[in-house]
Chains A and B, each alone.
Chain A
Amino acid sequence: MIKVIVNVFLKAGVLDSQGKAVHHALESLHFNNVSDVRVGKQIVLNLDESDDKKAMADVTKMCEELLANTVIEDYTIELIK
């Protein structure tokens, strides 16, 4: 069993309105040392798989086909034993 964490964020250069709104809210709480906020989503998968390489290849395909919209989003994949 491999646990996989996928993080999906808007690409750099694509305006992140939610990040901006959260940033403003933090400033209104007087956290003035925050220079940037990005809001994304995390998808946690449990794979019945023992081969890291195969897991990575499968999850990359999942990201390309469904989990991220690569027109506007980037993703990262992290395998956890």
Chain B
Amino acid sequence: MKVTILQFPGTNCEYDAQYAFEKLGAKTEILWHKSESIPSDTDLLVVAGGFSYGDYLRSGAIAKFSPVMKAVTAFANSGGKVLGICNGFQVLTEAGLLPGALKRNESLHFISKYHHLKVINNDNIFLEKLNSDDIVNIPIAHHDGNYYIDESGLKELYANNQVLLKYCDASGDDKKNPNGSIDSIAGICNKEKNVFGLMPHPERAIESLLGSDDGVKMLQGFLKA
């Protein structure tokens, strides 16, 4: 199992992602964005969090034109597994690999804290180690995490089981959410279920000593490849 982790100028979660996947037994490689190809032994491509290009213009807007992104799109379109975390999710929506967009948080504040999430659909490799309605506790850290998609797009997400995770409280109530996301959506996948994006950081919830190891069950799903 080989995990390739993308690094743009301003990415800052690549080493956390590397730590998490190596702890789970995967081989990893950090790939600088100037590369025009992806290592051929890549089983999972991670677009890590951070502030690519300083979030200038819009989060992820400049990163989508990095040399590596053509190879990322080709990899995804040929069925390769891609996981975008936080800024990585923003990059994947900007690049058109995932539907919708991430707006400024409704409160206009940067939010950094643990938050409960509810599993909505687990019929995908990412969440198959979890059950629907399971609740996990995972850190969020973002300024632009307010997921938006128009009404017809939202219907399509539900129809194809593309909604993966919703923000909720400890009891699983998802009526309120931290950032204004439509229907409290925290993570989605594409129709083909090989491209995944979420704002919360499972790679930061790997050690119970540090608050939570709920991220292990999430990332483990990828490891059977």
Q: B101 at the A/B interface (Cβ < 8 Å)?
A: yes
Q: B178 at the A/B interface (Cβ < 8 Å)?
A: no
Contact assessment for B106 and A17 in the assembled complex, using a CB-CB cutoff below 8 Å: yes
For B32, list chain A residues within 8 Å (CB). Answer: none
Q: B180 at the A/B interface (Cβ < 8 Å)?
A: yes
Contact assessment for A72 and B148 in the assembled complex, using a CB-CB cutoff below 8 Å: yes
Q: How far is the CA of A18 from the CA of B143 in the complex (A)?
A: 13
Q: B221 at the A/B interface (Cβ < 8 Å)?
A: no
Residue in B57, B62, B101 whose beta carbon sits within 8 Å of that of A71 in the complex: B101
Quick one: which of A10, A14, A15, A21 has the most chain B CB within 10 A? A15
On chain A, which size bracket covers the interface? Answer: 10 to 19
Contact assessment for A18 and B104 in the assembled complex, using a CB-CB cutoff below 8 Å: yes
Shortest beta-carbon distance from A69 to chain B in Å: 6
Contact assessment for A18 and B94 in the assembled complex, using a CB-CB cutoff below 8 Å: no
Residue in B61, B146, B149 whose beta carbon sits within 8 Å of that of A66 in the complex: B61
Q: B103 at the A/B interface (Cβ < 8 Å)?
A: yes
Contact assessment for B148 and A17 in the assembled complex, using a CB-CB cutoff below 8 Å: no
Residue in A17, A18, A67, A71 whose beta carbon sits within 8 Å of that of B100 in the complex: A71
Q: B105 at the A/B interface (Cβ < 8 Å)?
A: yes
17 further A-B contacts with Cβ under 8 Å, apart from A15-B106, A15-B180, A72-B148, are A10-B103, A14-B148, A17-B103, A17-B105, A17-B106, A17-B108, A18-B104, A18-B108, A21-B108, A66-B62, A69-B58, A69-B94, A71-B93, A71-B101, A71-B148, A71-B149, A72-B101
- Which B positions have Cβ atoms within 8 angstroms of A? 57-58, 61-62, 65, 93-94, 100-101, 103-108, 146, 148-150, 180
- Which A positions have Cβ atoms within 8 angstroms of B? 10, 14-15, 17-18, 21, 66-67, 69, 71-72
